[in-house]
Every structure is written in C-alpha cells, then in structure tokens.
Chains A and B, each alone.
Chain A
Amino acid sequence: MNWSATIRTVLLCGILILLHYTLRPLLAWRASADFLIIALLLASVRVRPGVAALFGFILGLASDSVALGAFGAGALAMTLIGFGWSRLKAVFFADHVLLNGFFLFLGKWAYEILMNLVERRLHGAELLMQILVWSSLSAAVTAVAGVIALMLLRPVLETRAA
C-alpha cells in the first residue's frame, strides 16, 4: 500500500470514528450503527493482517475505556475481527456494494456475538434473544450505514490507475 492509499484509509477511518461519536449519540437508536466496526472492516481489507489486528486492538481498547464492565472484551473481539477479515480479504474481497454490505453485517454480528460471549452478562434465552434479534438488527443497521458511507466516500477510496 502506497502513501496515498494509506492517507486515504486513515482519512476514511477518521471520518467514520468521528461519525461514531457524533451521529450515533444524535440518533440514539436502540439498534444503532457501529461506525467503529465499519472503519475496522474497511481498513482491514486495505492493510496487512498484523496492522489490522493492531488497529482493532486500539479501537477496541478505546471503546472499552468507557465501558469498565468489559474492559478488554472489545479489544479482543476487534483484534480477532480485524485479523480474520484481513486474512480472508483474498477470498471474499470484491468491490461490490451489496457484498460489502453483507461483509459488514457479518463482521458486526460476529463482533456482537463475541462481545456477548466474552462479557458473560446475559445467559440462556436472554442471550439468544440478544444475539438473534438485537445483535442482528444492529448488524443490519451497521451494514446499511456502512454501504451508505462507502457510497459517499467512494471518491476518497478510489485508487488512481498507475
């Protein structure tokens, strides 16, 4: 990845992180979009797996710092997702809007499942309800928001032909 692409990726991630801390509280939906996950997934397919894992770790730790109950859980989940996604980019990567949306859905859902399992706050039917209803709903909203963000930020992401 050259410098230009690196700067674009950093810019994109910065915008998404800003959206996470501005738009999300403004909407205040129960199943809200997770722009940190969108940033992580979009960055993961553009960097090496180790960098993606590090980026996920930092993002997760930052979000965990305001949620003391599960300090480290978010970092672990995001590290796994970042590394895994970066590894799998060769298999699944395709520049198609719907496919990107599907990946975003899967990524967010996997993150939610991991978080719920690691946190060990919910059990039994409650955990099932959370994973199947609210987590999937949140994943769907995240996917939609991610697709919209991708479409809006396409000029930033496009690489110039050499």
Chain B
Amino acid sequence: MARTGRISSRTDVVLFAVCVFLSLLAMVLPLRLREPVASALRRSLVAPLLQLQEGSERWRAAYLSSQREELKRDTLALAAARVPTLENENDRLRKLLGLGSALKWGFIPAEALQGRGRAEDFTITLSAGANAGVRERSLVVAPEGIVGLVQTVDPTLSLAILFAHPDFRVSAMSADGSAFGIVQPHVTGTGAQRDPAFLRSERYLLEMRGVPFRATLKPGAVVYSSGLGGIYPKGIPVGVVMGEIKTTEAWARTYILRPAVNPAELSAVMILTPQRAAAGLTNVWAGVGAVDSATRSIVLAGDSLARQAAAAEAAARRAALDSAARLLRDSLGRDTSAAAAAVPAPVTPARPAPTPDSAAAARARARRDSIQRERARADSLARQIPGAPATPRPTTTPEPVR
C-alpha cells in the first residue's frame, strides 16, 4: 500500500517536472519554432473556444452599438425639444435687433433677470448699471412696447419697476389721437363691478382710465404713450384694448388693456438714455415692425420659392391629367357618334338667353334636355344591338319649374 503511494507520488513529481520543463522550453524556444506550436494549438484545441469568444465579442459590439444608437436618438430628441425655445429666442433677438436699428442711438441693451419671489412680481433686475450709462428714471422698453422705469442703479446692475407695479402710471392715447387717458395697473379684487370673474386669473392687466365719455375705443385698438407728463415719450405701444369696464365715474370711460409686453417672456430689453427719450420716439415702433417683417420676408423667401416650384409642378401634373382625360373622352365620343347618327337628333327648341330672374327655369330646362338626350342614346344603342337588353330608361322626371 505504502509502496503504491510512493510510486504514485513519484509519478506526480515526474509529471510535474516534465510539465515545468516543457513550459520552460516553450519560453526559451526561438520565435520560428514557437510560432508553429502556438499556431497548431490555435487551429486545434483553442479554435472552438476562440469562435465562442468571437461570438461574445460580436454580441458585445452589437449591444454597444445599440446603446450608441439609443444615445443618438435621445440626443436628437433633446435637440428637437429645444428647437421651439431657440426659435422663440431667435425671434425675440431679431425683434430686439430691429428695435436697435430703429432707435439708432441712445440705448443700452440689457438682460432682464426675473426674480421668482412674491415681492419681485413687479420688478426686474437689469444686467446693465451706471457703468453702462443707465440713470435713474431711464425708460425700459422691449420690441413689443413699454416695460417699465429704472428705479435703482448700481454700477453693474439696475432695478426697474414693471408696468404692473402699483405706482406705474403713463399718459396714453389711441393710435388716431382721439382718446386720451391714464394707464395704470389693473388691481383686481378691489370692487366687484370692476372686477369681472374672467379677469381674476389674468395678471399684469392694465386699465386706461379717464377716457372722455365721447371717445370710444374698440377691442383690439392699440394704445400708445401720449408723451404728456414728460417721462414717457410719445409713440411707445402700451397695450391693446380688451374691453370697457363699468366704473362709478360717470363722466369718463375705463378700458381694460392687455399689455403690449408679456413680462413672463421678457428676456432682453433696451434701456433708453434720458437724451434719447427726450429726442422722441415717434415712428420707432412702426419701424420696428417694418424691420421685423422685412427680416421675416427674407427668411420666408426661400419657403415661397419652394412653394412656387411645388405649385408649378402640381399645375403641370394637372394639365397632363386633363389632356389625358380629354383624349379619352374624345375617343369615347367618336365610338358613340356613329350610333347616335342613326337616330334623328332631338329637336331642341330655340330658347332665349337666360335672364337672371329665370335662372331656375333655365336650370330645369337644361336638366330636361339632358334626360331626353340620354333616352335617345339608349334607344339607338338598343336598335344597333338587337340581342342586347334594352337599357332601362331613367325614371327621373324633370322637376316642375318653380
């Protein structure tokens, strides 16, 4: 027993020594001898395992590729989601450029940083201050119209009150100058009769008070600053009339205005220097509209050209279809004309030209004639083909002339 164990142990050691020797031999073999051995192993023993490994690598590559595709799709979706925001921003910046070119001088562009606190509802922080030339009581405008007034100026920042601030007042007038009044924030909840339920949800509304009773403003009319009072120059859009509200003031009318500028969408504004405001702003906003529309028309020019090309192509296609249909009708007409020649054509009584008052009668006559023609055609076909069943006559009877 012990002998068997010793022999086994000796065999193990020999086997181990042989393996170690062969390993060392493999290590010290020159490359030209080593490579055939490795190659034989790769082609025989390791080949199926390497195929398995290759399959796994391919799976992994496919998985990574699908992940990359998914990432690309997500990126595209994200980019597509950002497009409307970018378009809006682009539109606003284009309008601001239009305002800048209309103002020509005396303005300071600034970012409007809106606070989200309750106390910051009526104020905005502007990213330009005294260093940029902003002064107290400088006018803040946007491409759409009036925004507010600078109240506090720091070297790099300034604070402005919005038109929704309770202290805001501006003298305003209609576009034709027929109605004047004072525009101020519409403070809801102060009285039931001047506080319709549908307006409760509307923030930032304005009201134009003190409009003479004889002057009326229609909904949709634009109201501009009148220049009276000395702070706001004439011609800045303030808002659009939404409707009249009833007040206790019997000698004057009060109108609710939708402000020209939506503070929630305010991102970039222009601060006017006092000199620029004093120089007047008449026709600036008309110019802004013109520049904006010109830019839009340039942008849309490409679209309209494409539309024109598409319309021309559609017209050509329609013309081709019409000519084909006409050819088909003509050939059919030639086939049936021989049949129709065998039958005397129904005598159509001469009719006077239809007059506007006898249009209904003319329509009825035309219908009667067409029915008669149809009957004659059916009879002629029945005579030409004796075995053919007679075409049933239309049972429609002409309507009596009313």
Contact = CB atoms under 8 A, between A and B. Distances in A.
Interface of A: 17-18, 20-26, 28, 48-51, 53-54, 56-58, 60-62, 64-66, 68, 71-73, 75-76, 79-80, 83, 118
B13 A50 contact: yes
Contacts, number: 104
Given A61-B41, A62-B49, 15 more contacts: A17-B49, A18-B49, A21-B49, A21-B52, A25-B60, A48-B12, A56-B19, A58-B45, A62-B46, A66-B46, A68-B35, A72-B26, A73-B23, A80-B20, A83-B16
A23 B52 CA distance: 10
Contacts of B26: 61, 64, 71-72, 75
Contacts of A24: 56
B27 A76 contact: yes
Nearest to B45: A62
Nearest to B42: A65
26 contacts: A17-B49, A20-B49, A21-B49, A21-B52, A22-B52, A22-B53, A22-B55, A22-B56, A26-B56, A26-B59, A48-B8, A50-B14, A51-B15, A53-B15, A62-B46, A64-B26, A64-B38, A66-B38, A68-B34, A71-B27, A71-B34, A72-B26, A76-B24, A76-B27, A79-B16, A83-B19
Contact of B41 (A23, A65, A79, A118): A65
A54 B15 contact: yes
Contact of B19 (A65, A79, A118): A79
A23 to B, nearest CB: 7
Interface residues of B, number: 35
Interface string B30-58: 00001101110110011001101101110
Nearest to B25: A72
Interface of B: 8, 11-16, 19-20, 22-29, 34-35, 37-39, 41-42, 45-46, 49-50, 52-53, 55-57, 59-60
A21 B53 contact: yes
Contacts of B35: 68
A44 to B, nearest CB: 12
B52 A66 contact: no
A58 to B, nearest CB: 8
Contacts of B49: 17-18, 20-21, 62
A160 to B, nearest CB: 25
A17 to B, nearest CB: 7
Given A53-B12, A66-B42, A118 B57 contact: no
Contact of A57 (B13, B14, B19, B27): B19
